[in-house]
Amino acid sequence: MSGPSTYEPKTGIERWLDTRLPIIRFGADLLDFPTPKNLNYWWTFGGILAFCLVVQIVTGVILAMHYVANADMAFNSVEHITRDVNYGWLIRGIHANGASMFFMAVYIHMFRGLYYGSYKAPREVLWILGVIIYLLMMATAFMGYVLPWGQMSFWGATVITNIIGSLPLVGPAITTWLWGGFAVDNPTLNRFFSLHYLLPFVIAGVVGLHIWALHVPGNNNPTGVNVRSKQDTVPFHPYYTVKDGFAASVFLLLFASFVFFNPDGLGHPANYTPANPLVTPNPIVPEWYFLPFYAILRAVPNKLLGVLSMFGAIGLLFILPWIDTAKVRSMRYRPMIRVFFFVFILGCLLLGFCGANEPDAHPLPGGAVGAFLDADLNSFVWLSRLGFLLYFQFFFALFFVGLIETPLPQPESISSPVLPQGAAASPEKKG
Amino acid sequence: MMRKALAIAAAFGFAVTAFSAVADTTAMEPKDVHWSFEGPFGRFDQEQLQRGYKVYHDVCSACHSMSLMSYRNLGQPGGPFYDPKYKNPNDNPYVKTIVKDYQVPDIDTDTGDAIKRPATPADTFVKPFPNEYAARASNGGALPPDLSLIVKARENGKRYIYSLLTGYATAPAGLKVPAGKYYNPYFPSDLGSAWTGAGKVPTGGFIAMPLQLTANRVTYDDGTTATPEHEAADVVAFLTWAAEPHADERKDLGIAVLIYLLIFTGVLYASYRAIWRNIEH
């Protein structure tokens, strides 16, 4: 569907260049790329994410000019940036909140892909590359959070690296290797800084592959129906540059309100105390975008099984295209799986809520109601186990529901739901 | 049924729970106080910052350092002693007067001897103790925390510090207060082990800092009556400013950025409507 190139070199120099390095053709084809005309606003997050990556790299490179990766100086160098560097407070505010915005956008992007079946054939590789980007983002964000070397930086790093230590036989050796010593210390900070600078460029590379893999089959769309004719598509530019631009601008309003009016709202107060290996903050909580996985880790009573569940929660996404047995892509026409999908989202939110709280604390007023097995029933331990079920049920549902459900009638083509003659076939009208 | 329950119990049983028991840390909800600098449109009150600096200088600085602050910061735009006549805070007469009171350790470059020289506006606030050990030795083993970021480093920082400073209370009967410690219901801790009375364990904890802010502890230059509440509110204002000296500048720029973005978003929306005008979708 990407089709033959429509670019025609008009000047002599363009013709000359086109036979040597067809870079103008490459750009022109990207701009002209036929895109389904029915993409809704959930599709604007791809562009928003590309924007986020650029923002993080640009602000990050500037921060690296002033940051000192040394356990004795890192904390003060970050404060120096916010106090003494011209507009350093702004650059740091954008970078720190940008990470949260990046994750917010990526979660919406992923949920969109799940709902509309964007991971299904022929887009499996596109989806898997996306999961790889997500994993790289998590690694980058985790190491970035360690760099200010506050209490939460240090103890977060300690907890997460210790997770690796729970692997049988090789765990402790790998942990020592990761730390560059026998505890999280200066060598750990230095290598985290090095990798935190490296990984965004790896992400940029995989994003390139992700976009390449997108341009082979072309975009999925809210109906999940394949593009049939030219009538179904519009050129990417100007139609989607302006729509994505508008959405990105709305996104920026939210971004700016955090940066300028609540720059520490998504952070944790403990990270404004310099790292101290002798004092453990209580509780140790990761950044909000890791909370669901943290809750999965703590929901399982066995440490190793907890770690495996946590990695499994993401690992399952890699094989998602082969777990799902349904032929129909979009959940718009799959009323049954849609219920399981919303339960799954509820599970993600519930796990996030649990991850932010102490396991033994009571989610419901009234205190302890009596222990069941290893924990009180009115505790975040059991609530996160409920979340655990709501999360993992979805992957079973994708397999079994696909075998039994009867999908709703789908439109003939992308154009038919909005054209008068096809109006009867369309159960809803989406813009 | 029983067998099934046992099987589930066994399945969980081989796994040792790693969850440590949570200490029942309690603290009283901070008092509901407000300042001029709250919210997107709130700005610092320069006179309050000056009074707050005076409280820090006359009271807190005897034990608490502010290692991230330099004297010049006091005269920078937004600071307590900023004067538009002196763009360079190093020339600010207030700052120059303040540094006259301080001597800082240095090395005599002619002899190599350790000496003290007069402080300059570029120097960081002189620390009350040469090192952590000296600070602990003078404070019954407790370390007075650095106050540069204290407002950001505590949950609900402003109200917490205000409440702590004004919230000292007589320990309820049955609470054994250790020597050299003071009961404060706002200081988060678990008092279970010190409680011998009947009923619920009291909230709060023991703090090594005695009550500091009493009536007329400082004499304000502007004639404001120095009640404990006033002193606490003023010093919290100063500490909030010190934790983020560019906060006012941040909000000013933020309002401009949001107005710009709102207009830009409107323009983009209009363009979107115009470009998609003829596309049925």
| Interface contact A276, partner B, CB < 8 A | no
Flag whether A431 is in a domain: no
Of the three residues A227, A253, A273, the one that is the final residue of a domain is: A273
Flag whether A107 is in a domain: yes
Residues of B in contact with A374 (CB under 8 A): 12, 17
Flag whether A278 is in a domain: no
Sequence letter at residue A350: L
User: Distance (Å, rounded) from C-alpha B241 to C-alpha B36?
Assistant: 12
Sequence letter at residue A239: Y
Q: From B154, which residue of chain A is nearest by alpha-carbon distance? A: A269
| Interface contact B260, partner A, CB < 8 A | no
Measured from the Cβ of residue B171, the count of other Cβ atoms closer than 10 Å reads 19
Q: What is the mean pLDDT of residues A87-109?
A: 98
pLDDT at res. B54: 97
pTM beyond cutoff 0.90: yes
A93–B250: do the CB atoms touch at under 8 Å?
yes
**φ/ψ of residue A333, rounded to 5:** -110, 15
Question: Which residue in the block uniquely carries the two structure tokens 């007023």?
Answer: A365
| Interface contact B215, partner A, CB < 8 A | no
Residues of A in contact with B40 (CB under 8 A): 260-261
**Closest partner residue to B261 among A249, A269, A298, by Cβ?**
A249
Q: Is A203 exposed, middle or buried (0-12, 13-18, 19+ CB in 10 A)?
A: buried
User: What is the three-class DSSP state of B118?
Assistant: strand
Pair A42, A65 in one domain? yes
Pair A167, A62 in one domain? yes
Residues of A in contact with B190 (CB under 8 A): none
Note the Cα B39 to chain centre separation in Å: 17
User: Distance (Å, rounded) from C-alpha A121 to C-alpha A320?
Assistant: 11
Pair A111, A16 in one domain? no
Residues of A in contact with B254 (CB under 8 A): 256-257, 259-261
Flag whether A379 is in a domain: no
| Interface contact B5, partner A, CB < 8 A | no
**Closest partner residue to B261 among A239, A252, A374, by Cβ?**
A252
Q: What's the gap in Å between the CA of B157 and the closest CA on chain A?
A: 9
**Is residue A242 predicted with pLDDT exceeding 60?**
yes
- Three-state secondary structure of A17-61: HHCCCCHHHHHHHHHHCEEECCCCHHHHHHHHHHHHHHHHHHHHH
Strands B114-118 and B103-107: antiparallel
Q: What is the pLDDT of residues B173-221, one digit of tens each?
A: 999 999 999 999 999 999 999 999 888 999 999 999 999 999 999 999 9
Q: What is the pLDDT of residues A413-430, one digit of tens each?
A: 998 865 555 444 444 444
- Contact between B78 and B248 (Cβ < 8 Å): yes
ipTM of the complex: 0.91
Pair A102, A183 in one domain? yes
Pair A16, A105 in one domain? no
Pair A87, A194 in one domain? yes
Of the three residues A258, A273, A288, the one that is the final residue of a domain is: A273
Of the three residues A273, A305, A320, the one that is the final residue of a domain is: A273
CATH number of the domain that A85 lies in? 1.20.810.10
Flag whether A296 is in a domain: no
Average pLDDT of chain A to the nearest whole number:
93
Q: What is the mean pLDDT of residues B14-42?
A: 75
Pair A263, A121 in one domain? yes
How many structural domains are present in chain A?
2
**Is residue A183 predicted with pLDDT exceeding 50?**
yes
pLDDT at res. B174: 92
Pair A134, A173 in one domain? yes
Cα dihedral A80, A81, A86, A90 in deg (nearest 10): -140
Pair A136, A193 in one domain? yes
Pair A122, A179 in one domain? yes
Which residues span the domain enclosing A164?
Answer: 37-273
